[in-house]
Amino acid sequence: MYTAKALFAYLDHAADAAAIFNDHQTNMTKQDAAAVVSAYDFRECARVVDVGGGHGALTAAILKACPWTTAVLFDRPAVIEGTRERLHAEGVIDRCTCIAGDFFDSVPEGGDAYVLKDIVHDWDDDRAMAILRNCRRVMAHTPVTTTRVLVVEKVIPPGNAPFLGKLTDITMLLVTGGRERTAKEYEALDRGGLGPDANCPNHLPCKRDRGGPRVGKDVVTNGEDGEVARRLPVR
């Protein structure tokens, strides 16, 4: 079986495939970004850390929507040069620090919000919890108790109805050894990774339709394919 580690190691040495992967991810995230910005209140975030942020489509959207915010985008060394170029082209590079590293070693300190979009689903439970634990570790150094982890994934709903996440679940199984998860499975993961008192009350379904995100005013409703932003206060 393929694992995400093997996939990303391969992309390190296959520039053409890496370009396709990064562009595909950027295009998908551009469609989701407005919904995330709409679903989550970034007003209290002076610094957002985008963990495994790729080429920065979500970071750029957050920075454009929230002029008071700065960002740190953290990703693998092979990715980060492309990130700088794209954030420069988006006109937000002056408010973003791009840092290369491995989230299994550590993640940058100092965020008010740690955003993980399409990260957790790449990995099995043990590795997903290892990434969350590394977020938790640096958050413990932050003197602000309101630091958040924001996990953006397709949460599998109950029942047997068609749902986009069920297809990407199969893709994850085949390509990375990861999986899509139900809300209960995320809650178990959060407790294992962020600690027993990780409090995850909010599932904020983002309004979407087949044509991409449709941003409501204050109301955010569950879209057909149900991308969900989850807000996990950690005390």
Ligand X SMILES: C[S@@+](CC[C@H](N)C(=O)[O-])C[C@H]1O[C@@H](n2cnc3c(N)ncnc32)[C@H](O)[C@@H]1O
Whether 121 sits among the annotated catalytic residues: the reply is yes
Structure tokens at 126: 């043990």
Among 35, 52, 206, 234, binds ligand X (CB under 6 A): 52
Among 35, 62, 75, 229, binds ligand X (CB under 6 A): 75
In whole angstroms, what is the distance from residue 109 CA to residue 8 CA?
24
Cβ-based nearer residue to ligand X, 101 or 110? 101
**Interface with ligand X, residue 8, by CB under 6 A:** yes
Q: Which of 24, 121, 141, 203 is catalytic?
A: 121
Collect all residues with Cβ–Cβ distance below 8 Å to 123 and sequence separation of at least 6.
4, 131, 176, 177, 178
Where does residue 191 rank: exposed (0-12), middle (13-18), buried (19+ CB within 10 A)? Answer: middle
**Interface with ligand X, residue 122, by CB under 6 A:** yes
Applying CB under 6 A, which part among 65-73, 84-92, 115-123, 189-197 lies near ligand X? 115-123
**Interface with ligand X, residue 104, by CB under 6 A:** yes
**Interface with ligand X, residue 54, by CB under 6 A:** yes
Residue 71 beta carbon to ligand X: minimum distance, rounded to whole angstroms: 12
Residue 104 beta carbon to ligand X: minimum distance, rounded to whole angstroms: 5
Structure tokens at 30: 């551009």
In whole angstroms, what is the distance from residue 75 CA to residue 81 CA?
10
**Interface with ligand X, residue 96, by CB under 6 A:** no
Applying CB under 6 A, which part among 114-122, 165-173, 195-203, 214-222 lies near ligand X? 114-122
SS3 212: strand
Residue 208 beta carbon to ligand X: minimum distance, rounded to whole angstroms: 15
Residue 197 beta carbon to ligand X: minimum distance, rounded to whole angstroms: 26
Give the DSSP letter of residue 156: B
- What DSSP letter does each residue of 85-121 carry, written as one string? HHHHHTT-GGGEEEEE--TTT---S--SEEEEES-GG
Which secondary structure element, helix H or strand E, spans residue 201, and what is its range? Answer: none
- Where along the sequence are the contacts to ligand X (CB under 6 A)? 8, 25, 29, 52-54, 57-58, 75-76, 79, 102-104, 117-119, 122
